[in-house]
């Protein structure tokens, strides 16, 4: 059984309750991984999820551990979570660069890397995700902006399949997209990359084949809020991730 590692897709909400003179805070932990996790599991993959708050300590820091996976999906997880472990940030000790490991995971080991959109993907909110400043920019099929890249469409916008790419395996069985509420703006200027679908003239799905492996980007959420209820209930949702998994693992 092929294995998928999904990193990210979690957050903690902190709420301040003010009751006149008095105030207090409550916290709640949430995950948005269930939709895409279910899609990959239905397609026959074994899925491991590492949430944001555990990525610094639990994301593999050597190729022996990372190499057991066939696909790594980064979804709404900023690059700092993978670069700054406590031993590096707090103790000033050297550790392996997990993004360099991912680079080798793709280019040398022939595996698949998928980046999914969100407030902490690509450049992200206030540019804090900052993947454009990392080694992954060399293999991703789009160029990442140097500033806040969020494109908000509360009224909704609809991605379009590129007609000349309609026969690509990732798009098999997909004819029309549901509405989304936003995405990360990127630039389609990477040599050898293919844009399969666009939204508002920007890349929506793009793919590349760096070295021995494959990379893909999906520039909107795989869960709310950018991913609408219509999108999640759409019959093509599970098909998309099945197609994506097959292409990333050279099984199309």
Both tokens assigned to 201 = 């003239």
Indicate whether 17 belongs to any domain: no
Indicate whether 16 belongs to any domain: no
Indicate whether 21 belongs to any domain: no
Q: What pLDDT is attached to residue 91?
A: 67
Q: What angle do CA 136, 239, 242 make, to 5 degrees?
A: 50
Indicate whether 18 belongs to any domain: no
* pTM, two decimal places: 0.96
Indicate whether 20 belongs to any domain: no
Number of domains in the chain: 1
Tens of pLDDT, residue by residue over 94-110, are: 778 999 999 999 999 99
Can you tell me the distance from the alpha carbon of 252 to that of 245, in angstroms, rounded to the nearest whole number? 9
Both tokens assigned to 193 = 């990359």
Indicate whether 235 belongs to any domain: yes
| Intra-chain end-to-end CA distance of the chain, in Å | 16
Q: Which domain holds residue 110?
A: 3-11+27-248
- What's the CATH code of the domain at 115? 3.40.50.880
Q: Please identify every stretch of the chain with a pLDDT value under 50, giving residue numbers as ranges.
A: none
Q: What pLDDT is attached to residue 30?
A: 96
Can you tell me the distance from the alpha carbon of 181 to that of 152, in angstroms, rounded to the nearest whole number? 6
Q: What pLDDT is attached to residue 15?
A: 97
């Amino acid at each position: 059984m092929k294995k998928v590692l999904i990193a990210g897709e979690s957050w903690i909400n902190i709420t301040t309750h003010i009751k006149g003179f008095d105030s207090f805070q409550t916290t709640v932990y949430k995950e948005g991984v269930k939709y895409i996790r279910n899609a990959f599991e239905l397609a026959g993959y074994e899925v491991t999820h590492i949430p944001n708050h555990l990525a610094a300590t639990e994301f593999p820091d050597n190729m022996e551990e990372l190499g057991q996976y066939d696909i790594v999906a980064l979804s709404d997880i900023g690059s700092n979570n993978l670069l700054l472990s406590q031993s590096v940030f707090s103790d000033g000790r050297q550790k392996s660069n997990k993004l360099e490991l991912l680079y080798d995971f793709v280019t040398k080991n022939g595996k698949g890397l998928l980046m999914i959109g969100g407030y902490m993907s690509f450049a992200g909110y206030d540019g804090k995700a900052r993947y454009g400043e990392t080694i992954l920019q060399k293999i991703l099929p789009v160029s990442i902006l140097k500033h806040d890249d969020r494109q908000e469409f509360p009224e909704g916008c609809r991605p379009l399949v590129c007609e000349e790419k309609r026969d690509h395996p990732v798009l098999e069985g997909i004819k029309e997209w549901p509405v989304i509420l936003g995405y990360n703006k990127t630039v389609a200027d990477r040599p050898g990359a293919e844009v399969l679908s666009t939204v508002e003239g920007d890349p929506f799905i793009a793919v590349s084949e760096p070295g021995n492996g494959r990379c893909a980007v999906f520039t909107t959420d795989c869960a709310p809020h950018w991913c609408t209820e219509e999108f999640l209930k759409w019959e093509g949702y599970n098909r998309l991730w099945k197609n994506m998994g097959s292409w990333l693992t050279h099984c199309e």
